[in-house]
Chains A and B, each alone.
Chain A
Amino acid sequence: MNLMVMEKETKECAASSAGTVRLPQAPMFFRSFFIQAGWNYERFQNIGFVFALLPALRKIYPDPEQLKAAVLRHLSIFNTQPYMANFVLGNVARMEADAAALPGDSPQRRNLPGVKQALASSFASIGDRIFWGRLKPMTTQVCLLVWALGGFSGWLFTGMSGAAPVWLLLAGPLAGILAYSAVAVTLRWRGLGKGYACGGTANCGLDSMNWQRLIRGLSAAGFALSIALAVLSFGMLAGVNYGVCSGGALLAKLSVCLGVLVLHRVTRAFGRSSFFAAGVLLAVSVLLFSVLKLAPFNLYL
Chain B
Amino acid sequence: MTTVLRTLLSSALAGLLGLDAVAAGQFLFSRPAFVGPLLGWLNGCPLEGARLGILLEMLYIDIIPVGGVVPPNGTAAAAVGVLAHSAAGLAPSLAFFIGAGAGAAYSPVESWLRTSRSAWNPLILGQVAAGDLNISRWVARALLMENAALAGYCACWVALAAALAAAPGVLALYPGTDFAYSLMPWLGLSGLYFRFRTQAHKK
Contacts and interface: CB of A to CB of B under 8 A. Distances in A.
B135 interface: yes
A149 to B, nearest CB: 15
Interface stretch (A94-102, A106-114, A256-264): A256-264
| Most chain B beta carbons < 10 A, residue from A43, A155, A159 | A155
Nearest to A181: B27
Nearest to B143: A37
Contacts of B177: 282, 285-286, 290
Number of chain A interface residues as a range: 35 or more
A79 B187 CA distance: 33
A233 B129 contact: no
Contact of A158 (B22, B100, B182, B199): B182
A144 B183 CA distance: 17
Q: Is the interface of B mostly helix, strand, loop or mixed?
A: helix
Contacts of B184: 158, 278, 281
B121 A297 contact: no
Contact of B33 (A173, A223, A275, A289): A173
A220 B118 CA distance: 40
Interface residues of B, number: 88
Interface string B116-149: 0110110011001101010110110011000000
B179 to A, nearest CB: 4
Contacts of B66: 124, 128, 132
B24 interface: yes
Contact of A296 (B25, B179, B200): B179
Interface string A219-253: 11011011101100100000000000000000000
A158 B179 CA distance: 9
Contacts of A50: 135
Top 8 closest pairs, chain A to chain B, by CB: A286-B176, A290-B176, A40-B117, A42-B118, A285-B180, A223-B200, A222-B196, A289-B175
Interface of B: 22-29, 31, 33-34, 37-38, 40-41, 46-47, 49-51, 53-55, 57-68, 72, 92-93, 97, 100, 104, 114-115, 117-118, 120-121, 124-125, 128-129, 131, 133, 135-136, 138-139, 142-143, 172-197, 199-200, 202
Interface of A: 33-34, 36-44, 46-48, 50-51, 54, 64, 67-68, 71-72, 75, 79, 82-83, 124, 128, 132-134, 136-137, 139-141, 143-144, 154-156, 158-159, 162-164, 166, 169-170, 172-174, 176-177, 180-181, 184, 219-220, 222-223, 225-227, 229-230, 233, 256-257, 260-261, 263-265, 268, 273-275, 277-278, 281-282, 284-291, 293, 296-300
